[in-house]
Amino acid sequence: MTRRLLGSEHAAGWLFVLPAVVLIGVFGIIPIGWALLLSFQHNDLLTAPTWVGAANYRELVHDPVFRDSIRRTIIYTLLFVPLSVGGALGVALFLYRPIRLSRFYRTAVFVPVATSTVATGIIFNWLLDPTYGIANFLLGKVGLGPYGFFQDPDQALYAIVAMTVWGWLGFDVIIYLAALQGIPQDLLEAAELDNAGRWGTFRHVILPLLSPATLFLIVWSTINALQVFDEIYVTTRGGPLHATTVLVYYLYNQAFELFHAGYAAAVAEVLFAITLVFSIAQLWIGNRRVHYTS
């Protein structure tokens, strides 16, 4: 009896997970191993691949566009992460207090979250148009510009940062607001009784209690920043003069425009390594500084 029951539980368990295991196996697990194999091949996505050993990686080391794409990806990440996470913290602290029109403000901040990256790119192409765009008009009012934005190699990457911070801010604010709602009111009242002051309360009560959310947002934003692609494809296509060719753009360009799939797979492995190193380092440093409440 026990054996039969156990047996049926094994069978039921396997039947339940079977669709997931097959689908994730085919589209999730096999590609991981295959991606590594590909990086040692010459592959044009059509004809039979050939083995080239470590040639792709050797070529990468001497490829100036690749090296610059890593540099640009890291510059982008180092700007995007603090601006979006730090900005969101400020916005969340402002929206957290009951203020007039707070529902309207929240909607204004959240709406870009539902705006697709493609639509965002097209809108910013227009806002940042050097000749007719409203950005140059408004900045001109305060005595700045005019700027070339996406069309100026020295500004394009920063324009991408501004656009993507706009698109992502609301997401970070949502996470921060949820974390702020979790702060027990009596802790804030205790701080007030101790005359901690607004800065003291923020520095010694709120900030430590938000630290798990901050760590999550830093890790998650970094992963996403290292993978930025859509907004660049829609606006600058990696230009002008490669000024916005980040890692994933280069990967896409090599694999699906130039059909150097093996070479692109080597780029992908480097992306994977960089992502892992960043995530592990952040979690390692972060976990020693994060304050978890039980």
Partner 1 sequence: MPLAAVMLLPLVWMLVTSVETLAESRHFPPTIVPSGIHWENYPNALDSAPFGRFFANSLVVTLASVAGNLVFCSLAGYAFARLRFFGRDVIFIVLLATLMVPFQVTMIPTFLIVQHLGLVNSLGALIAPNLVTPFGIFLLRQFFRTLPVDLEEAARIDGCSRLGVLFRVVLPLSMPALATLGIVTFLWTWNDFLWPLIAISSTDQSTVQLGLASFQGAHQTRWTLLMAGNVVALAPMLLVFVFAQRWFVQSIAATGVKG
Subset of 223-282 contacting partner 1 (CB under 8 A): 223-224, 226-227, 229-230, 233-234, 248, 251-252, 255-256, 261, 264-265, 268-269, 271-272, 275-276
How many residues in the shown chain lie near partner 1 by CB under 8 A? 89
- Nearest Cα neighbor of 167 from 97, 98, 229 is 229
Residue 2 region by backbone torsions, left for phi larger than 0, else alpha for psi between -120 and 50, else beta:
alpha
Footprint of partner 1 on 127-146 (CB under 8 A): 127, 129, 131-134, 137
Instruction: Output DSSP code: residue 51.
Output: E
Q: How far apart are CA 256 and CA 121, in angstroms?
A: 21
Footprint of partner 1 on 52-111 (CB under 8 A): 91, 94, 104-111
Q: Please identify, among the stretches 73-81, 152-160, 161-169, 189-197, the one whose residues bind partner 1 according to the rule CB under 8 A.
A: 161-169
Could you tell me the smallest distance in angstroms from the CB atom of residue 91 to partner 1? 7
Q: What are phi and psi of 42, to 5 degrees?
A: -100, 125
Q: Are 268 and 39 in contact (CB under 8 A)?
A: yes
Q: Please identify, among the stretches 27-35, 150-158, 193-201, 286-294, the one whose residues bind partner 1 according to the rule CB under 8 A.
A: 27-35
Q: Please identify, among the stretches 5-13, 54-62, 197-205, 286-294, the one whose residues bind partner 1 according to the rule CB under 8 A.
A: 5-13
Q: How far apart are CA 228 and CA 161, in angstroms?
A: 10
Q: Any residues with CB less than 8 A from the CB of 264 and at least 6 apart, and which?
A: 251, 252, 254, 255
- Residue among 132 and 284 whose Cβ is closer to partner 1: 132
Beta-ladder partners of 41: 51
Could you tell me the smallest distance in angstroms from the CB atom of residue 205 to partner 1? 21
The one-letter code for the residue type at 262 is G
- Residue among 151 and 196 whose Cβ is closer to partner 1: 151
Task: Tell me which of 77, 117, 214, 222 binds partner 1, using CB under 8 A.
Answer: 117
- Residue among 31 and 184 whose Cβ is closer to partner 1: 31
Footprint of partner 1 on 162-221 (CB under 8 A): 166, 168-171, 174-175, 177-178, 216, 220
For 50, the 3-state DSSP assignment is: strand
Could you tell me the smallest distance in angstroms from the CB atom of residue 289 to partner 1? 20
Q: Does 112 bind partner 1 (CB under 8 A)?
A: yes
Could you tell me the smallest distance in angstroms from the CB atom of residue 192 to partner 1? 26
Q: Are 238 and 249 in contact (CB under 8 A)?
A: yes
Q: Does 115 bind partner 1 (CB under 8 A)?
A: yes
| Half-sphere exposure of residue 74: CA atoms within 13 angstroms, side-chain side | 9
Angle between helix 261-289 and helix 30-38 axes, rounded to 10 deg: 120
In the numeric block, which tokens belong to residue 23? 């689908």
- Residue among 12 and 54 whose Cβ is closer to partner 1: 12
